[in-house]
């Protein structure tokens, strides 16, 4: 599973920042909601290309940046951004459930749009929490309930049908507030701010499919080869185009936000 995810994001690394720009906007709102703090060490868990980590750096500064992600290509792009800022960094290709950091060594941890892809979410949150110093914070962003529901309804009703894994993944990825709160409390953290954002968006069909292939093509890669994957997404794009209104394809964009503090 990690290899499939890493390989998928390696392929989309060059277009990820553009295709997933709304995720970056969500990360900006998450970082803005954090309380003022001094940040010596920043951890970006599931860093990707680093758009969340960079925004945290721009607000708080940091003397050392640690990042971990399954995609070497994504990590390389984050590394370039940090080098351009002249920052000391420790970037790793790996699984955030196996973070090897000293307890109490991190002031702020960001986990943006990655927790939903992890099988053992509680273990991932616990691993991040274990690295936080007393008084340190975790800021988390994930898909919320009914995220992209219009798309799910559309592709699950296609005839001929597509592989069910493609649309079933959305229900598994949704993380409601009570679920994320449970992970935080179980990890010994104090929830500070939890909220859901729900927005209606309209975009051109090709733009929408570009996001889907950039952020979740590993789901199709697990059940079909590359040729079939390309045919499937072409078929889906045709359906999305047919469902477009004059202003584009309308969909619900729902995000779960969470900020928690380690006691002490």
Separation of first and last alpha carbons in the chain:
37
- pLDDT for the residue numbered 1: 41
- DSSP label of 42: E
Question: Cα separation of 45 and 238, whole Å?
Answer: 36
Output the tens digit of pLDDT for each of the chain's 264 residues.
446 888 888 888 888 888 888 888 999 999 999 999 999 999 999 999 999 999 999 999 999 999 999 999 999 999 999 999 988 899 999 999 888 899 999 999 999 999 999 999 999 999 999 999 999 999 999 999 999 999 999 999 999 999 999 999 999 999 999 999 999 999 999 999 999 999 999 999 999 999 998 888 789 888 999 899 999 999 999 999 999 999 999 999 999 999 999 998
Q: Is the dihedral of CA 105, 23, 189, 116 positive or negative?
A: negative
Domains of the chain and any CATH numbers: 2-145+172-200+253-261 (3.40.50.150)
pLDDT in tens, 24-65: 899 999 999 999 999 999 999 999 999 999 999 999 999 999
Lookup result for tokens 């399954």: 70
Contact 139, 34 (CB under 8 A): yes
Angle at alpha carbon of residue 146, lines to 28 and 241, rounded to 5°: 90
pTM confidence score: 0.93
């Amino acid at each position: 599973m990690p290899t499939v995810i890493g390989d998928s994001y390696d392929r989309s690394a060059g277009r990820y920042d553009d295709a997933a720009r709304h995720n970056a906007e969500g990360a900006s709102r998450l970082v803005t909601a954090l309380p003022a703090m001094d940040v010596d060490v920043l951890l970006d868990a599931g860093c990707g290309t680093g758009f969340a980590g960079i925004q945290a750096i721009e607000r708080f500064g940091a003397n050392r940046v640690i990042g971990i992600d399954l995609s070497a290509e994504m990590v390389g792009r984050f590394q370039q951004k940090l080098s351009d800022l002249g920052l000391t960094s420790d970037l790793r290709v790996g699984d955030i459930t196996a973070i090897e950091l000293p307890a109490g060594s991190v002031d702020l941890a960001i986990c943006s749009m990655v927790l939903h892809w992890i099988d053992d979410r509680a273990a991932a949150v616990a691993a991040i929490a274990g690295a936080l110093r007393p008084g340190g914070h975790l800021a988390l962003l994930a898909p919320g309930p009914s995220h992209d529901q219009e798309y799910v309804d559309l592709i699950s009703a296609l005839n001929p049908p597509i592989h069910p894994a493609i649309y079933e993944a959305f229900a598994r990825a949704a993380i409601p507030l009570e679920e994320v709160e449970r992970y935080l409390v179980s990890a010994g953290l104090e929830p500070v701010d939890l909220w859901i954002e729900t927005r209606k968006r309209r975009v051109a069909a090709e733009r929408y499919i570009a996001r889907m292939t950039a952020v979740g093509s590993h789901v199709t890669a697990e059940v079909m080869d590359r040729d079939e994957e390309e045919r499937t997404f072409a078929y889906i794009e045709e359906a999305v185009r047919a469902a477009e209104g004059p202003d584009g394809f309308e969909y619900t964009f729902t995000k779960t936000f969470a900020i928690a503090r380690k006691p002490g």
